[in-house]
Structure 1
Amino acid sequence: MSDLTIGRESAGIAAQSASDLYRAVWRWHFYAGLLVLPFMITLAVTGALYLFKDELDAVIHADLKRVEIQQSAVKVAPSAMVAAALAAHPGTTLKYTDPTSPDASVEITVNTPAEGKLAVYVDPYDGKVLGSLPDRGTVMWTIRYLHSLKYFGSTARMVIEIAAGWSILLVGTGIYLWWPRRQTGGVLSVRGTPKRRVFWRDTHAVTGVFVGFFIVFLAITGMPWSGVWGGKVNEWANGNNFGYPAGVRTAVPMSDEHLDHVAKTSWSLEQAQVPESPAGHHGAAPISLDDAVSTFDRLGLHRGYAVNIPSAPTGVYTGSVYPDDVAQQRVVHLDQYSGKPLIDMSYADYGPLGKWLEWGINVHMGQQFGLANQLVLLAACIAIVALAVSAGVMWWKRRPQGSLGVPPMPSDSRVFRGLIAILAVGGVVFPLVGVSLVVMLALDWGFGRARMVRKA
């Protein structure tokens, strides 16, 4: 064998190895897309709408949420507005929500015997009841529940967790397939016309490389809401501090109730225990809602805070607010008898992991950087839909008649095993993704064996 022949043989082996790796990556990119793209379209559409939740709710529910500003009028006391809400809808008052702006109404949550929990809207200038909706019954709450698949139970929410993990795999394999290999078209430009498959291939590749960062960011920052991974990481992050860092917790009695069961709260405080109003007040009367609201105003809570009203002798007034600026997040518990703060918790008190996650969640929801945040993520959501559509069209044009069109297996199985080993690392970090990976491997092996038997 000559030196020239040996050189050609080595080059041929290298080319075959590169081709096998490409096939392996392409095959798993196809599987990831098969699992993820239907969910990505749903998440992108509902997410794009929810970015503008305040603006859309203000328009859709303008008759309930918007009031005419009266410059010279003195606002009605919170207790008087609660009385008006109870007169219209008899029951028990659970929560008073401060108006976010001068033209916003007050929202009072009432638990009624006949209609369940209601959000009753009251004009803060004249105390008139504007109307009511079921609690969390606005259009944007519906969109939010559709986005998280909360309507479909815990199993569906696990599917979202799997989709988030596989979307990261989708981006990683997609970047490898996009990576320039001496070609100029389809890297940053789109070739051909919509009639040709290359147009959809280039549209998919170019869109994907620009939106890939956002897909990974949204997947990671959405994980805290997931059923398994999010719940376990939440427990680990909070540890034995019950959500409150040791420097914030004070020597006050703590109930067995967690803040997430009492008030809408941030991810970092879901496991935080709620303190109790100390016993031994010798028959002292509780402070009024007006006093509690006045205290929260004096403490400087951001406008739009919610006040959860105590329902038991040891209960507390809880003021909580989660505005667009994550630095303004705050939770304050007041002794219902003395009105003194028992725990005053702000974003600055979160641990490093809590701070990072809360910041990421705020950006994920389009809140942290105002309109720019909303518009950038809106563009990302539109690009994600375009990515999914172009993938579908490209597959349809490529697939053989009567076949699913799964990319071919690499001829060297060692390349395939190496790729699976890398994917398995993601499966360890995200357990549900790992389980789904094992299922996909089993199905892939089973279909492969079935095809071999048919050919034999």
Structure 2
Amino acid sequence: MKDRKLNQWLWKWHFIAGLISLPFVLVLSVTGAMYLFNPQVEDDYKSSMTKVINNKASKLSYQEQWLIAKKNMKKPLNSMIVSNDNQLATEFIAGRFSHKKSVFVDPNTGEVTGKFSPKDTWMYTIRKLHGELLGGSFGTKIIELIACWMIVLIITGLYVWWPFKRGVRGVFLPRLNEGKRTFFRDLHAVLGFWFSGLLLLTLAGGLPWTDVFGGEFKWIQKVTNTGYPKTWSGRGLTSEIEGEALTLDKMIEIAKGQNLKGELYVGLPKSEKSTFSVFNKTFDLDAQRMLHFDQYDGSLIKKHTWSDVGVLMRSRMWVMAFHQGQFGGWNFWIMFGVALMLTIMSIAAIASYILRKQKGTWGVPKVPKTFSVSSSIIIIIGILCVLLPLFGLSVLLIYVTTLFQRKAAQ
């Protein structure tokens, strides 16, 4: 049996945290569902740049295309995508993440068919709204704080949902014939129960992008040496300068010979001493490879497989890919379903609150004055405060504010 007084105390804080978080949760769920379609939006935007007419018997060499791309980009080129489709322009890439920019070269004519950056589409605004409320670093911290409290909302919600007396209706299925307030309350609680595990996994996939938790996680990776190997990106690896460097065409021939799964990339050397890199992007993570070749004789200098990556980085990359629905159709529809259910849960909570609330009050649940927080609950809160620093800061502020209010009331 549950502790009724503890149930009332958790219900009170679930109610307050939910009331404050709901507008932000709605923004996160709606923009998250929209951003799942980002690859399709970007592909549609780039289609006029990428599609070319293959009407020539001979093409420009990759080396020639590389020179053309370099002349048309201010930033140094990092890599290129190797494609076997004769109807596609060759894509050369500069920069990383949101600063990434691509230039497309028609291999038939040498014409630059266009340039693309993720910032060019309206999805970039959706991403910024989802990740930082269009508020930069401050907005990112607000999103992180809401994500932390969402974890607390799930934990407290599960305790409050757990029935004093077990039964099916109102616990595992919403009650449909007992009034609007009961229906919306059950819809919120029952969906919360069924989707709680997926919601926690989704939040775990979003937290690595945050400033405070994400920064703390990266620090732990560095200290424990559980991130990428130092040579994964080619750092510290050099080519022996001897004779002429390999042409890009020869390097692509070597890259294709590796028979890597997914989209094939060739990393371009940054200097005379650096290496060519060959890597693939596939969300069969175990199939990912990173190979570094001497740019003069084409010999393999370093080979990395996914097993070389530290356990924390592997876990992080998996939950982040899951968060973005990148493991295929099943993952996409699960994440879309999570976003949809979170939106419905939020609307149901608002409806339930409006129907419950009495005029002139906030409707905050009352807690018996005789209730005192047990040591076990304090330990659980302490653990959450350590794991989620912004949650810990908010708890400290709540505690200090409560002390001042008590002193003022005396």
TM-score, length-normalised on structure 1?
A: 0.76
The alignment status of 1:198 with 2:182, answered yes or no, reads yes
CA distance in 2, matches of 1:104, 1:48: 30
Q: Aligned equivalents of 2:39 and 2:394: distance in 1? A: 37
Given the superposition, is the C-alpha separation of residues 196 and 297 from structure 1 closer, same or farther in structure 2, using an over 3 Å criterion? Answer: same
For 1:408 and 1:225, how far apart are their aligned partners in 2?
37
1:169 corresponding residue in structure 2: 152
Q: Is the contact made by 1:82 and 1:93 (CA closer than 8 Å) also made in structure 2? A: no
- Code of the aligned partner of 1:411: K
The residue type paired with residue 33 of structure 1 is: G
SS of the residue 1:30 aligns to = helix
What amino acid does structure 1 have at the position aligned with 2:44?
V
Q: Which moved more, 1:135-144 or 1:37-46?
A: 135-144
CA distance in 2, matches of 1:150, 1:80: 43
Q: Does 1:362 align with 2:321?
A: yes
- Counterpart-to-counterpart distance in 1, 2:303 and 2:130: 32
Q: Which residue of 1 aligns with 2:349?
A: 391
**Aligned counterpart, 2:213:** 229
C-alpha offsets along residues 371-414 of structure 1, whole Å, 9 cap, x if unaligned? 11111111111001111111122222323333333222332231
| Aligned-partner SS, 2:66 | helix
Q: Does 1:330 align with 2:289?
A: yes
Alignment of 1:73-92 (within 5 A): 76-86=60-70, 89=72, 91=74
Aligned-pair distance for 1:44?
A: 2.0
Alignment of 1:136-175 (within 5 A): 137-149=120-132, 152-175=135-158
- CA–CA distance in structure 2, aligned partners of residues 321 and 218 of structure 1: 25
1:237 counterpart SS class: helix
2:250 aligned partner: 291
- Which residue of 26, 38, 43 maps to 1:58? 43
Shift of 1:422: 2.2
Matched residue of 1:396: which SS?
A: helix
Q: For the structure 1 residues 29 and 238, does the alpha-carbon distance in structure 2 shift closer, same or farther, using more than 3 Å as the test?
A: same
Change over 3 Å in CA distance of 1:204–1:73 after alignment to 2: farther
For the residues of structure 2 that align with 1:334 and 1:151, how far apart are their CA atoms? Answer: 42
Equivalent in 392, 395, 406 of residue 364 of structure 2:
406
2:282 and 2:253 map into 1 onto residues whose CA distance is: 20
Q: Which amino acid aligns with 1:214?
A: L
**Residue type of the partner of 2:3?**
A
Task: Name the aligned partner's letter for residue 43 of structure 1.
Answer: L
1:100–1:313: structure 2 CA closer, same or farther, 3 Å change rule?
Answer: closer
Partner of 2:202: 218
Q: Deviations over 1:242-275 (max 9, x none)?
A: 9455xxx7xxxx7xxxxxxxxxxxxxx6xx6712
How far, CA to CA, are the matches of 1:94 and 1:162 in structure 2? Answer: 37
Between the aligned partners of 2:33 and 2:239, the Cα distance in structure 1 is 46
Alignment of structure 1 residues 5-404 onto 2, 5 Å = 18-67=3-52, 76-86=60-70, 89=72, 91=74, 93-98=76-81, 102=85, 104-109=88-93, 118-124=101-107, 127-134=110-117, 137-149=120-132, 152-182=135-165, 184-192=168-176, 196-239=180-223, 241=225, 243-245=227-229, 274-278=235-239, 281=241, 284-368=243-327, 370-404=328-362
State the secondary structure of the residue aligned to 1:286.
coil
- Distance in 2 between residues matched to 1:434 and 1:401, nearest whole Å: 33
Maintained 8 Å contact 1:307/1:319:
yes
SS in 2 for 1:274: coil
Between the aligned residues of both structures, percent identity stands at 28
User: What code does the residue aligned with 1:392 have?
Assistant: I
Contact kept, 8 Å, 1:275 with 1:342, in 2: the verdict is no
Q: Which moved more, 1:120-129 or 1:339-348?
A: 120-129
Following TM superposition, by how much is the alpha carbon of 1:26 offset from its aligned partner in structure 2, in angstroms? 0.4
SS at match of 1:163: helix
DSSP-derived class of the 2:93 partner:
strand
Unpaired segments ≥5 residues, structure 2: none
Q: Which of 388, 398, 404 matches 1:440?
A: 398
Query: Is 1:429 the counterpart of 2:387 in the alignment?
Result: yes
Letter in 2 for 1:202: D
CA shift, 1:118, in A, is 4.2
Shift of 1:201: 0.6
Mark the runs of 5 or more structure 1 residues left unpaired by the alignment. Answer: 1-13, 255-268
Q: Partner amino acid for 2:137?
A: S
SS of alignment partner, residue 299 of structure 1: coil
Structure 1 position 45, deviation (Å) = 2.3
**Cα RMSD after superposing both structures:** 3.4
